[in-house]
């Protein structure tokens, strides 16, 4: 078998080449109860830092999306402790000042671009910070649509910005106040409220498991 040597939390292991960092950790005997979620690059739970032999640089990536390399020194980060102010969305206004009022550290950005280099999703993180400083909420929401909140940018930021929490607020404000309403969704919500689907739901709830499995397999799927 083609194997590589990796060092996980300081201890060396021989693992099959081609595994992701997450699978290599499990191959080495780690049971992941933290720092592991969707395994598909969507949830951001598996932020990992590593260094390669002979390379001074500290790399950050998602453990479920990154393949092991020989001589990799790996440390798993279960989560990034970051400042998150409490707010009630319905009491906020979708204005640029709102972002800065809740996250004043945005103004400390020195435009070093370290956040962009740290992003495993290859997002233009620093551009999003600049959009936030300009009060461009839809711009922030757009630039950070694929953010998985892994926190790697926040960890490297010299201005201590809690990027992922800022982006979440911007997307919430954008979704709640600035995005045009979808009339068909409102209509469907009304139908649900009026009990249009109650009979069907009651029928599903009462169904035995085999019937549910058969109904699931036979469901209409969009091509």
Q: Does the footprint of ligand FES cover residue 62 (CB under 6 A)?
A: yes
Q: Answer yes or no whether residue 44 interacts with ligand FES by CB under 6 A.
A: yes
CB 39, min distance to ligand FES, A: 5
38 binds ligand FES (CB under 6 A): yes
24 binds ligand FES (CB under 6 A): no
Could you tell me the smallest distance in angstroms from the CB atom of residue 189 to ligand FES? Answer: 30
Q: How many angstroms separate the CA atoms of 167 and 144, rounded?
A: 6
Nearer to ligand FES, 44 or 96 (CB): 44
Task: Choose between 74 and 94: whose C-beta lies nearer to ligand FES.
Answer: 74
- Candidates 23, 30, 43, 102; binder of ligand FES (CB under 6 A) is 43
| Contact pattern from residue 110 through residue 149 relative to ligand FES, giving x for each residue in contact according to CB under 6 A and a dash for the rest | --------------------------------------x-
> If binding is defined by CB under 6 A, does position 78 make contact with ligand FES?
no
DSSP string covering the chain, please?
--EEEEEETTEEEEEETT-BHHHHHHHTT---SSS-S-SSSSS-TTEEEEEETT--PPEEEETTT-B--TTEEEEE-S----------GGG--SSHHHHHHH-GGGGG-----HHHHH-TT---HHHHHHHHHHT-HHHHHHHTTT-----HHHHH-TT---HHHHHHHHHHHIIIIISPP-HHHHHHHHHHHTTTTHHHHHHHHHS-HHHHHHHHHTS----
- Is residue 37 a contact residue for ligand FES (CB under 6 A)? yes
Does 45 interact with ligand FES (rule: CB under 6 A)? yes
Q: Which residues bind ligand FES (CB under 6 A)?
A: 36-39, 41-46, 62, 64, 148
């Amino acid at each position: 078998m083609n194997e590589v040597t990796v060092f996980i939390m300081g201890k060396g292991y021989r693992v099959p080449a081609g595994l992701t960092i997450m699978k290599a950790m499990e191959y080495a005997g780690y049971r992941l109860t933290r720092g592991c979620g969707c395994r598909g690059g969507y949830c951001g739970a598996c932020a990992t830092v590593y260094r390669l032999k002979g390379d001074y640089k500290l790399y950050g990536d998602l453990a479920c999306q990154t393949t092991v390399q020989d001589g990799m020194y790996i440390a798993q980060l279960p989560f990034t402790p970051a400042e998150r102010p409490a707010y009630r969305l319905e009491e906020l206004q979708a204005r640029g000042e709102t972002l800065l009022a809740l996250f004043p550290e945005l103004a400390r950005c020195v435009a070093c671009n370290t956040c962009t280099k740290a992003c495993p999703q290859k997002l233009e993180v620093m551009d999003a910070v600049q959009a936030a400083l300009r009060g461009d909420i839809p711009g922030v929401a757009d630039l950070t649509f694929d953010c998985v909140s892994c926190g790697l940018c926040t960890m490297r930021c010299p201005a201590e910005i809690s990027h992922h929490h800022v982006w979440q607020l911007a997307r919430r404000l954008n979704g709640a106040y600035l995005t045009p309403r979808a009339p068909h969704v409102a209509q469907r919500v009304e139908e649900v409220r009026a009990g249009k689907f109650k009979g069907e739901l009651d029928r599903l709830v009462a169904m035995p498991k085999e019937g549910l499995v058969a109904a699931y397999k036979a469901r209409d799927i969009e091509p």
